[in-house]
């Protein structure tokens, strides 16, 4: 099999495996990759495993039963902690694995006719033989934007996630919108400001659960800040020389947007 799938029969001793228990990942001594020989047969649940390719290497992914951590003298960690502690490689490999497992689990049956799906010939879709629909992994595009006004930038705290840091505004792209439309709409909805020029900066795959974050700068045009109740707990202008705690530029496009702007302005 090719694409996102791998047959358990083809497993070799040296193959590296990621084991998920629910949405947590099995880790031993800080390492999330297991060699085939370290994992007893009974802990590899499916006949068909998910395959993640990264940097020219393949990693195999499977779900393991509850309690496996005790048998293997290991611990379970969340994708978020693995990402913040393990850096970019951990985030991309485990993030992709998590997204593909979710897609596989939620598309076992056809949404049109209810029949069981199977991997298609390319291995990149789940396919319904009865009505011939293919279901590809879904990526949800979002925008994340730093509103800027010379030496000050707009930072906010989300009301729902209760993060300890201040960050950029963000939102999902709605049906029919361009990314730039979403930037203008979200800034207006979340803090009641109008923005002028919008500049694309960079994008990032964000596996919570399956977003593609498109990072932008948006120039402030007019208005007074009014945080959207229930969405934004706090939003304000911050001088680039006196910033509060912001996300790490190493793992998030939000942190990178802020760091890049501040460096350019100083």
Footprint of Zn ion (CB under 5 A): 110, 112-113, 115, 128, 130-131
What is the nearest approach in angstroms of Zn ion to the Cβ of residue 28? 41
- Give 115 or 234: the residue with its C-beta nearer to Zn ion: 115
CA 68 – CA 74 distance, rounded (Å): 8
- Give 63 or 107: the residue with its C-beta nearer to Zn ion: 107
What is the nearest approach in angstroms of Zn ion to the Cβ of residue 242? 58
> What is the distance, to the nearest Å, from the Cα of residue 18 to the centroid of all Cα atoms in its chain?
17
CA 43 – CA 102 distance, rounded (Å): 19
CA 191 – CA 234 distance, rounded (Å): 9
- Give 134 or 212: the residue with its C-beta nearer to Zn ion: 134
CA 260 – CA 266 distance, rounded (Å): 10
- Give 128 or 251: the residue with its C-beta nearer to Zn ion: 128
What is the DSSP code (8-state) at residue 138? Answer: P
Q: 3-class DSSP state for residue 165?
A: coil
What is the nearest approach in angstroms of Zn ion to the Cβ of residue 49? 24
**Residue 171 token pair:** 């939102």
Strands (E), the chain: 5-7, 16-21, 24-27, 34-35, 48-54, 57-63, 75-78, 118-119, 126-127, 134-135, 140-149, 152-158, 169-172, 194-206, 211-222, 232-239
What is the nearest approach in angstroms of Zn ion to the Cβ of residue 13? 39
What is the nearest approach in angstroms of Zn ion to the Cβ of residue 172? 27
- Give 113 or 163: the residue with its C-beta nearer to Zn ion: 113
CA distance between the termini of the chain? 53
What is the nearest approach in angstroms of Zn ion to the Cβ of residue 112? 5
Q: Indicate the length of the chain as a whole number.
A: 266
Q: 3-class DSSP state for residue 20?
A: strand
- Give 136 or 208: the residue with its C-beta nearer to Zn ion: 136
CA 135 – CA 14 distance, rounded (Å): 32
Contact 93, 20 (CB under 8 A): no
What is the nearest approach in angstroms of Zn ion to the Cβ of residue 126? 11
- Give 10 or 108: the residue with its C-beta nearer to Zn ion: 108
């Amino acid at each position: 099999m090719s694409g996102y799938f791998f047959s358990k029969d083809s497993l070799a001793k040296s193959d590296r495996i990621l084991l998920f228990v629910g949405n947590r990942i099995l880790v031993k001594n800080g390492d999330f990759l297991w060699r085939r020989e370290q994992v007893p047969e009974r802990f590899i649940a499916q006949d068909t495993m998910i395959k993640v390719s990264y940097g020219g290497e393949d990693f195999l992914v499977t779900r393991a039963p509850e309690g496996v951590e005790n048998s293997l003298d290991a611990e379970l960690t969340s994708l978020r902690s693995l990402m913040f502690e393990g850096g970019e490689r951990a985030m991309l490999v485990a993030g992709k694995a998590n997204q593909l497992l979710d897609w596989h689990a939620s598309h076992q049956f056809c949404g049109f006719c209810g029949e069981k799906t199977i991997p298609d010939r390319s291995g990149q879709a789940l396919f319904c033989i009865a009505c011939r629909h293919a279901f590809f992994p879904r990526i949800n595009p979002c925008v994340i934007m730093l509103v800027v006004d010379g030496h000050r930038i707009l930072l906010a705290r989300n009301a729902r996630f209760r993060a300890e840091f201040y960050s950029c505004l963000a939102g999902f792209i709605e049906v029919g919108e361009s990314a730039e439309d979403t930037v203008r709409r979200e800034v207006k909805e979340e803090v009641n400001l109008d923005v002028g020029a919008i500049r694309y900066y960079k994008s990032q795959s964000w596996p919570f659960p399956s977003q593609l974050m498109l990072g932008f700068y948006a120039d402030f045009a007019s208005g007074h800040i009014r945080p959207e109740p229930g969405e934004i707990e706090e939003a304000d202008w911050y001088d680039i020389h006196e910033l509060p705690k912001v996300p790490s530029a190493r793992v998030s496009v939000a942190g990178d947007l802020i760091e890049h702007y501040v460096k350019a302005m100083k």
